[in-house]
Structure 1
Amino acid sequence: MKKAKIETPLGIAELTGDSDGLSSVKVLDEGIISAEIPSELKETALQLEAYFKGTLQNFDLKLNLQGTDFQKKVWKKLLEIPYGSTTSYLQLSRDLGDEKAIRAVASANGKNPLWIIVPCHRVIGSDGSLTGYAGGLHRKKWLLDMENPPVQQSLF
């Protein structure tokens, strides 16, 4: 597995992957930026940079998801949440066919290894609250605000 660390507005992103695809993107509070990015991770770095600049809404990367079958099913469903939109843990459970699996869905969501790429930050509480995010709720709020900025209202 190759690794690289890149700077983002939310901290250092540690990218991990190989020729089989991207397997992990983690956010770190500190770290040393990689002087060179392995070829297997260059496209990820470019797309993350474009995402943070606001010029990319949908990632197009080869993913190598590592997890249980159920986790992979949840993560693939997360990929269907459009940029600038949110869904609830309850709705995600319903979409997966089992409303009672809400805790398992939330757990799988929390174990998502591909920060931002698989947009777990777009899942919120049924009441609209920002609940749970491995990268910290301040990062979740920042991402949601970036993807869906408030509309400036005219005074006239």
Structure 2
Amino acid sequence: MPVRSTKTPERFGLDRMATPIGIALLVTDAEGNLRALDWDDYEHRMRELLRLHYGAVDLSHRPAPAGMRTALSGYFEGDLGQLAGVAWRVAGTPFQQKVWTALAQIPAGTTMSYGAMAARIAMPKAIRAVGHANGSNPISVVLPCHRLVGADGSLVKYGGGLERKRWLLRHEGVEV
């Protein structure tokens, strides 16, 4: 007999925002923290990541906080420092959280290899694990998983598609 969860589903708001690279999906909690940022053409993947991190999730239309929308708009208009003003919160394993927090420390306009990220979090042999954690990052752009590249500087894997990754890096001044 399957085990049924009696836990109340997490309730999050879902908003949509036009950007130069597509419609962004903004998932926020009741306190106004960003819980997920993904792209409308990857909504199924975003919902699956939310399920993996939070269990049952109830998403209903709710505008994202005005300050968050303003910061994201500013970023896409060229004020790259605006991302620092977006409040976010993540679930996930302690290792994933360590990687995601470290992503937020990579300055705009720079990239880092998966190996360098593994070394930064004091786990130099965990290159593949860093890649997996990066791939399950629920908060695209704000936790800049697009800034991780292959050891040779090549663009590898991006949940929103390599064209978006290329655009984001060029937008930040990285020649790719």
- Coarse TM-score class (shorter-chain normalised): 0.7 to 0.9
Superposition deviation, residue 149 in structure 1: 5.8
Q: Say whether 1:48 aligns with 2:72.
A: yes
In structure 2, what is the equivalent of residue 29 of structure 1?
41
Q: Say whether 1:11 aligns with 2:25.
A: no
For residues 9 and 120 of structure 1, do their structure 2 counterparts lie closer, same or farther at Cα, with a shift above 3 Å needed? Answer: same
SS of aligned partner of 1:4: strand
Q: CA RMSD in A?
A: 1.9
One-letter code of the match for 2:70? L
SS of aligned partner of 2:79: coil
SS of aligned partner of 1:7: strand
Tell whether the 8 Å contact from 1:74 to 1:105 is kept in structure 2 after alignment: yes
CA distance in 2: counterparts of 1:62 and 1:56, whole angstroms: 15
Structure 2 residue corresponding to 1:127, chosen from 140, 152, 155: 152
- TM-score, structure 1 as length reference: 0.86
CA distance in 1: counterparts of 2:103 and 2:77, whole angstroms: 22
Question: What percent of counterpart residues are identical?
Answer: 41
CA distance in 1: counterparts of 2:145 and 2:41, whole angstroms: 19
One-letter code of the match for 2:34? L
Q: How does 1:2-151 map to 2 (within 5 A)?
A: 2-20=13-31, 21-29=33-41, 38=63, 40-59=64-83, 60-148=85-173
Q: Which moved more, 1:138-147 or 1:60-69?
A: 60-69
CA distance in 2: counterparts of 1:61 and 1:55, whole angstroms: 13
Superposition deviation, residue 68 in structure 1: 1.1
Superposition deviation, residue 67 in structure 1: 1.1
CA distance in 2: counterparts of 1:131 and 1:120, whole angstroms: 11
Any stretches of 5+ residues in structure 2 without a counterpart?
1-11, 44-60
- TM-score, structure 2 as length reference: 0.77
For residues 45 and 100 of structure 1, do their structure 2 counterparts lie closer, same or farther at Cα, with a shift above 3 Å needed? Answer: same
For residues 118 and 50 of structure 1, do their structure 2 counterparts lie closer, same or farther at Cα, with a shift above 3 Å needed? Answer: same
The number of residue pairs the alignment matches comes to: 145
